[in-house]
Amino acid sequence: MKFDSDIGQIRERLQELSRQIFSKKHRLEIAALVSAMEPPIWARQVAKTLDIGENQAASELHEFEQLGALQQFPSEFDRRKLYVVTPHWLWRAVREAQDSGIRELDPENGEALVAAYWTAMVDHAPRPVLADTGDHELGGNYGDFS
């Protein structure tokens, strides 16, 4: 398995899925990531993890706050807007949509791809996926996502 290229393909698929669901390229991936992060959560942290602009991350965090899915985390010593996740239907919905989108890329190895994605994005330490996934390209015919 070509770990970096597979993660890249997964992210391209998630961006296309996000456009279809939300009309926003990164909203799905940002929301799913935020749902798995330990507080406090801030825009620069999200932007760095997903390699996107900090303003874009901040805008999405603000939208989630307006929806009631995030709450600002009070801090008198930190000038960043810090957030904590609040119980909300959004988190379960985006995790399910994202994980299903990843599984669709290669149904035979979908669970291993989901695990590899979350390891790379949340743990920040790429680990090989299960040995039984083989060393082949991701399946599926989803066209050009650029």
Range 42-71 average pLDDT: 96
Residue 138 lies in a domain: no
pLDDT given for residue 4 in this prediction: 54
Q: In whole angstroms, what is the distance from residue 14 CA to residue 28 CA?
A: 7
Question: Count of domains in the chain?
Answer: 1
Q: Please, is 87 exposed, middle or buried when counting C-beta atoms within 10 Å of its C-beta (0-12, 13-18, 19+)?
A: exposed
Q: What is the band of 66 on the pLDDT scale with cuts at 50, 70, 90? A: very high
The torsion angle over the Cα atoms of residues 114, 62, 71 and 89, rounded to 10 degrees, is: -50
CATH of the domain at 63: 1.10.10.10
Q: Domain range holding 58?
A: 3-122
Give the CA radius of gyration of the chain: 16
The two tokens of residue 90 are: 């959004």
Does residue 87 belong to any structural domain of this protein? Answer: yes
Q: What is the pLDDT of residue 73?
A: 83
Q: Does 130 reside within a domain? A: no
Three-class DSSP category at 56: helix
Residue 135 lies in a domain: no
Whether 64 is in a domain gets the answer yes
Q: Is the pLDDT of residue 29 over 90?
A: yes
Express each pLDDT in 69-88 by its tens digit.
Answer: 999 988 777 778 999 999 99
Mean pLDDT of 41-61: 95
- Is residue 127 assigned to a domain? no
Would 54 be classed as within a structural domain? yes
Task: Find, among 26, 35, 50, the residue nearest to 83 by Cα.
Answer: 35
Domain for residue 128, yes or no? no
Residue 119 neighbours by CB under 8 Å, 6+ apart: 125, 126, 127
Quote the pLDDT of residue 5.
64
Q: Considering the entire predicted model, what is its pTM?
A: 0.78
Find the range with the poorest average confidence among 22-31, 71-80, 98-107, 137-146. Answer: 137-146
Measure the CA–CA gap between 26 and 3, rounded to whole angstroms.
21
